[in-house]
A and B are shown apart, each in its own frame.
Chain A
Amino acid sequence: MSTFEFTILIAFGSLVAGLIGALTGLGGGVVIVPLLTLAFGVDIRYAIGASLVSVIATSSGAAAAYLKEGFSNMRVGMFLEMATTVGAMTGAYVAASTPTRAIAIIFGIVLLYSAYSANKPPKDLLTDEPPDRYATLLKLDGSYPTSEGEQHYRVRHVPAGFGLMYVAGVLSGLLGIGSGAVKVLAMDQAMRIPFKVSTTTSNFMIGVTAAASAGIYLHRGYIDPGIAMPVMLGVLAGALIGARILPGARVRTLRLVFSVVIAALAVEMIFKGVKGSF
């Protein structure tokens, strides 16, 4: 296989990954690393570097659409960014001294969790409890527009959410993914933020988090232009097409199928990691 064929195949695979990732809400990043390592035999460090770059592209590319809707909560986003950026830098530093087979196994476990959590229907856990002390202090409570007017919400369990966001950052920096699934866990489950707000806010955070570790990966020589180029262009094109056809698409079946694919990739990564072929 020549470099030309290799590049075109990776670009095409990334486009499909970005498209399905956007349609299912799972993000294209989660399958880039398995795709590159399992199908193309690329070293996992190059794969993680390329995936990280594509995560930034989709996050910043989607921001314009999200900002117009007026759902995102900038204070929640910026406050939690302190946790995710420190986490991402931790993850990127830890990655250097972690054996690649261990990274493959952790990757597989996170993939399995992502596949599972994507199929749980989003449920808002709005409460009438008194305001959270930290949420008040940090002015995190907010509201978002609905067809029946402004819907107010209160942010709960700020320390737990902050801690979980640190974990999301570590995973992002270690594995080169957006770790949307852990962010959902922190913002929806722990902090009780309505999912419309948490999805749009976390989209913004994913790009900033990935940028925090991308610099470290770049300095370490993990970001190869020959691989990152087709991955970034493919995922970005796929995500933009996906966002355009999303409103009319019926995604439940697709999400289920994609989750099964992800779970299969996860098992293969764990298996190969345990066997030591990474």
Chain B
Amino acid sequence: MTLLRTMAAGSLALLILVGCADGGARAWIEASRAQSEAAAAADDVAQARAALEALLALEVPSTVAEDDARVIRQDAHERLGRLWLAQGDGARALAEVQRGLVLGEADDIFTANLWVLRGRVREARGEDSEAAADYHRALLIHEHLLSLALGDER
């Protein structure tokens, strides 16, 4: 009887833990979205940067798929990098690109945006051939996405 009670309590704790874990993933997505929208609606660069940094400071729950976290965080790094580049700080822009690429690469528009931004930074530095290589990587991903988009429409 005691064993049955123990097992019942364990099962209840298990359900609560699983429930909290899923809630943590959703809470992270919602908080990230809120910061992303705050950055888009920001009146100035400082506000936008603060919102994106707040997004990146959010701890990713273990229940979030690694690739989902990559997509969200690559987007934030790319937007931060663009803000730095617009202010003429190529080094910080490049650092954001590197932080984004460390998360992984995929044939999606989020990774493509990082290649484009790195090309822009290198182009601004006069590193034309390196910039061309980055643009070429972005081009290949766009071609893949275009074929997907057109195939999806047929």
Is B one of A's binding partners? Answer: no
Interface residues of A (CB under 8 A from B): none
Q: Which residues of B contact A (CB under 8 A)?
A: none
